[in-house]
């Protein structure tokens, strides 16, 4: 025999249908919630079904502590159960040509078993913890990068309302020293209060790898930008940290 169990996975529960072999469905479809106790019952059913045991495998499915769905596939892996992940489009297209046009989870679970015997699918490859960590880190990097991209135009908008001439001071407006200086002295008033000497000191503090001459040159440019700044006072509220 070549038994298989089809799981049509939905949010919160799955529909289960077993086949003992091609064209030999085993019993009726039943639903299974994604909770610890029902998964344990499913494991017992799966192992009996794999042996071809005809005893009653459809026993007591009751709800207790909820198990997050993210642990569902992990549960199968921990039990050393090989499984196949199918794109829903594949099963949907196969069902259209072979079964009545009725949408039920029971039919979908049945169709997954039928499809297994028709196609040559590869079992899902269990990913190592390092690969999973790398995938999560890549997603986090993408999120942070998108936030950075979205923040740039917002920063430009605020700077244009407060200190538009500041853009010409540093070659890279978003360099560490540039952002720290504009954070410390975000308005013409703040720059004038500090004075050129204090500005040069701050530039050297924020960018110690550059020379003092470079720092004084940047301080002079900041002072010059103030003289060209059309806004003597900020037209929006600026918070000093």
In the DSSP assignment, the letter for residue 123 is: P
Rounded to whole angstroms, how far apart are CA atoms 182 and 203?
Answer: 11
- What confidence score (pLDDT) does residue 105 get? 62
121-27-80 Cα angle (round to 5):
45
**DSSP-based three-state secondary structure for 209:** coil
Dihedrals φ, ψ of 52, to 5°?
Answer: 75, 20
- H helices present in 67-164, as ranges: 72-78, 88-98, 105-118, 129-162
pTM over cut 0.75:
no
Report yes or no: 222 and 206 within 8 Å, Cβ to Cβ: no
Axis crossing angle, helix 188-206 with helix 212-228, rounded to the nearest 10: 160
Higher pLDDT, 80 or 91: 80
User: How do residues 162-213 score in pLDDT, each as one tens digit?
Assistant: 888 888 899 898 899 999 999 999 888 889 999 999 999 999 999 999 999 9
Question: Considering only CA atoms, which of 82, 87, 90, 88 is closest in space to residue 124?
Answer: 82
Question: Mean pLDDT for the chain?
Answer: 77
Please, is 68 exposed, middle or buried when counting C-beta atoms within 10 Å of its C-beta (0-12, 13-18, 19+)?
A: exposed
State pLDDT tens for residues 106-154: 778 888 888 888 877 766 665 656 676 787 888 889 999 999 888 888 8
Q: Which of these ranges, 7-11, 81-85, 87-91, 178-182, has the smallest mean pLDDT?
A: 87-91
> Rounded to 5 degrees, what are φ and ψ at 24?
-130, 75
């Amino acid at each position: 025999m070549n038994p298989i169990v089809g799981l049509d996975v939905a949010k919160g529960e799955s529909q289960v249908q077993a086949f003992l072999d091609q064209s030999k469905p085993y019993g009726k479809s039943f639903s299974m919630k994604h909770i610890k106790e029902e998964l344990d019952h499913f494991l017992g059913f799966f192992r009996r079904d794999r042996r071809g045991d005809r005893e009653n495998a459809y026993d007591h499915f009751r709800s207790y502590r909820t198990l997050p769905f993210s642990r569902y596939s992990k549960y199968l892996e921990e039990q050393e159960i090989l499984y196949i992940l199918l794109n829903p489009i594949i099963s949907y297209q196969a069902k259209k040509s072979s079964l009545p046009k009725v949408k039920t989870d029971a039919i979908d679970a049945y169709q997954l078993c039928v499809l297994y015997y028709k196609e040559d699918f590869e079992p899902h490859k269990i990913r190592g913890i390092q690969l999973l960590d790398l995938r999560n880190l890549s997603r986090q990097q993408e999120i942070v990068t998108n936030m950075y991209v979205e923040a740039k135009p917002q920063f430009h908008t605020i700077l244009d309302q407060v200190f538009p001439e500041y853009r010409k001071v540093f070659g890279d407006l978003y360099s560490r020293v540039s952002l720290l200086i504009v954070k410390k002295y975000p308005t013409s008033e703040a720059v004038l209060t500090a004075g050129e000497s204090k500005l040069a000191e701050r530039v050297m503090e924020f960018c110690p790898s550059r020379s003092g001459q470079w720092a004084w040159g940047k301080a002079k440019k900041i002072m010059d930008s103030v003289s060209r700044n059309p806004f003597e006072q900020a037209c929006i509220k600026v918070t000093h940290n």
